Amino acid sequence: MATPPSQNGIPTTTGLSREAGPEDGLGGTSGLLGGEIEIAGTKVSRLGLSTMHLAGRGSWGEPASRAAALDLLRTAVHSHRITHLDSSDAYGPHLVEELIREALAPYPEDLLISTKVGMVRPTPNSWAPVGNPAYLRAAVEGSLRRLGVESLGLCYLHRIDPEVAFADQIGVLDALRDEGKIRHIGIADAPPEDVRWASHYARIDVVQSPLNLENRDDPLLDICRVAGIPYVAGQPLCSGELAEDLTAALSWVLDQGDHVAVIPGTSSTTHLKELVQAVARPLNHPSGTRITTPGWLTP
């Protein structure tokens, strides 16, 4: 397999090929939480919401209270103006997509619902990638049905399956985009070399990757910045380890660049309000200075 053409390590065969500029609309200030960012052709709040925690424990089965899960979704979108929800067919599995439809359909025009395919749940405590093209196609059809839409605004490959040719996994999503069943393709939780390979076979519109104060070094941050691609930061609270100072945790992530959005997760409307307040309350550090040392975490 040949190495993808690149310039300074950035593929030149697709959208991962140019320096982002102001005209890209990748960041800025607005009335939206954390400012505004364009993801998958939609201007959304930089503070999004991961819906992983809306199912039962371990994102498996029914939540403790279905009514509470529905209320959280409605509160996030209608009360707090969060306009970016991140989901997956593996959450539940399948259940969270159904909750989103039940809570929010018909959807607001400015709401971006992203979902992921390519991960199965053999047991409540296990996750496994499945990249068979026929399975991925069926998974997209299932997400369309559960969400009640004709086209997915943003669909990620949840994980790369090492047992299936890379070109086949990305290729089927690209074919589904050509068919209009997917409008934008993302790749999630993949190392930089895999993102480069993915972009060799299809245009990659969004990258999602874990980023937080405990895991700061991700080369994809600069790759996406140079390429003009939104970077969606998952696990910003490091599975709860950084929950004591939400402002520090979320502000640090958002401070990494205007091309960055953040998707913390919660199952509590009280915690949701705290997340919103944390983003609305900027850290007291010198203007224009990125938070790069733990010193900024204390008053």
Residue by residue, DSSP assigns 220-269 as HHHHHHHHT--EEEE-TTTTTTTTT-HHHHHHHHHTT-TTEEE--B-S-H
Q: Is 201 a catalytic residue?
A: no
- Three-state secondary structure of 27-70: CCCCCCCCCEEEECCEEEECECEECHHHCCHHHECCCCCHHHHH
Q: Which two tokens stand for residue 146?
A: 């559960």
Bridge partners, residue 265, by sequence: 50
Bridge partners, residue 206, by sequence: 186
Catalytic residue among 91, 156, 201, 231: 91
Q: Give the burial string for 111-131 (b: 16+ CB within 10 Å, else e).
A: bbbbbbbbbbbeeeeebebbb
Point out the residues that are catalytic.
91
